[in-house]
Structure 1
Amino acid sequence: MKCIWCKQSLTKNLTFMEILNPFFVQEHRLCAKCQQKFEPLIGGCQLCGKPTVQPICSDCQYWQRKYPTYAFKHTALYHYNEGFHEWMEQYKYLGDYQLRYTFSYELKRYFKDKKDCWIVPIPLSKEKREKRGFNQVEGFLEAIGIKYQPILSKKNDTLPQAKKGRYERLKMKQPFSLNIDGGLIANQDIILVDDVYTTGRTLFYAAECLLPYHPKKIMTFSLAR
């Protein structure tokens, strides 16, 4: 068995359960060195997890003013640190598609009690998808067998968020549109899923497409914040 990221050989002492049933053996794993590159997101802002001394960070205070009737709540697994940035480069931009399995255990744990929710990945433009060959969010959802609803479309190609400054991110134009009858999402619990939450602009624009049709609840999730 090899580390899914650095490809170094792994040694692992099997648990009693894994010996009795190989189904429980994690096929795609990180070595200890690679695992240490990720910093779990613990505490922080009550609404998005961003490290802050205030109960609610300045970003979320901004969104509360802009969307006063939207009771948003975001969940992320890790800080967007240097290690996560390296992982994103290899998965998203260099196309190491095996890395979609990296956080399978954590994702299964998050989604296990959300089977009645509509899981909605943030879409790519047609041009970006053709160039990259895959949608990185759909990739890690498919890795754990999550059924998702591709109900959003991206209108056109835009500069990657990582290449924009904070002001540019907040001022970008609405890039998404709803591609189904809006009445179908009324009273549904919906989870919008992205890879990284930076300012929140992308996820709030996605939510903006859904809010007029009165879903029961909109939650948001990302791998990193």
Structure 2
Amino acid sequence: MKCSYCQQEIIRNLTFKEILFPLLIKRERCVFCQQKFEKITVPACPTCSKPGWSSSCEECQQWEKRYPDYEFCHQALFRYNEAFKEWIYQYKFLGDFRLKTTFSAEIQEYFSHKKGWLVCSIPLSKDRFSQRGFNQAEAFLQAANVKTIPLLEKKVESLPQSNKNRQERLASPQVFGPTEQTFKIKNKKVILVDDVYTTGRTLFHAAEILRMYQPEKIQTFSLAR
């Protein structure tokens, strides 16, 4: 078995179940790669998972003023540290599609507690998808066997968020629109998924569209914060 990040061989004893049912063997990271990524632990903002906050952070307080009727709740797994920046660069910008499985175990664990929720990844524009060849959030969800539904489409091409500073990101216009599937979310619970939460602008824009279709609840999720 190879490490789902560095691709080096992992040598360990298989469990009895894994020997009998090889399909139960999950992709995992080697010890060295495990140590690179920092899981978010308390204290962290209860609203957006920003590390270091025991109560709602300043950013969330600003979003609450902007969207007073939206019960925002975001959860992330890892700190956006140097190791995660390197991973996202290799996966998203260099297009190393093998890395979609790097965090499959953690993603499966998180979504095992979200039975009955509709899961929607943040979409790419047609041009961006053609350039990259895959939607990074959709790919890591599929690698973790998480079913998704296309509730949004990106109608306007824009500069990548990574090319903008904080003020430019916050000032970004609405770029999303509904799909033919969006009517299905009335009275349903929905999770919006992106790779990284930076300012939250993308996820709030996405939720803004979905809220018009009267879901019971919307939550958001990212690998890193």
TM-score by length of 2: 0.94
Letter of the 1:89 partner, please give it. Answer: Y
Which residues of structure 1 form unaligned runs of 5+? Answer: none
**Structure 1 stretches of 4+ moved >4 Å:** none
Letter of the 2:37 partner, please give it. Answer: F
Task: Tell me the alpha carbon deviations over residues 55-100 of structure 1, each in whole angstroms, 9 at most, x when there is no partner.
Answer: 0101100110000000010010101110001111111111111111
1:41 maps to: 40
Letter of the 1:143 partner, please give it. Answer: A
Task: Tell me the alpha carbon deviations over residues 124-161 of structure 1, each in whole angstroms, 9 at most, x when there is no partner.
Answer: 00000000000001101111222211110111222221
Aligned positions of 1:1-225 closer than 5 A: 1-26=1-26, 28-43=27-42, 44-180=44-180, 183-225=183-225
CA distance in structure 1 between the aligned counterparts of 2:49 and 2:213, rounded to whole angstroms: 28
Task: Tell me the alpha carbon deviations over residues 160-194 of structure 1, each in whole angstroms, 9 at most, x when there is no partner.
Answer: 21221110110000011112265432111000010
Backbone CA RMSD of aligned residues: 1.5
Q: Secondary structure at the match of 1:159?
A: coil
CA contact (8 A) 1:126 1:156 kept: no
Letter of the 2:102 partner, please give it. Answer: T
CA contact (8 A) 2:195 2:224 kept: yes
CA contact (8 A) 2:108 2:145 kept: no
Letter of the 2:36 partner, please give it. Answer: K
CA contact (8 A) 2:183 2:213 kept: yes
- Work out the number of aligned pairs and report it: 224
CA distance in structure 1 between the aligned counterparts of 2:65 and 2:146, rounded to whole angstroms: 34
Task: Tell me the alpha carbon deviations over residues 7-62 of structure 1, each in whole angstroms, 9 at most, x when there is no partner.
Answer: 22221122333234323222x32211111111001121010111234501011001
CA distance in structure 2 between the aligned counterparts of 1:53 and 1:174, rounded to whole angstroms: 29
Moved more, 79-88 or 15-24: 15-24
Q: Secondary structure at the match of 1:36?
A: helix
| Distance verdict in 2 for CA 1:141–1:182, change over 3 Å | closer
Letter of the 2:201 partner, please give it. Answer: R
Letter of the 1:103 partner, please give it. Answer: F
CA contact (8 A) 2:151 2:181 kept: no
CA distance in structure 2 between the aligned counterparts of 1:184 and 1:14, rounded to whole angstroms: 43
Q: Secondary structure at the match of 2:221?
A: strand
Identical columns (%): 51
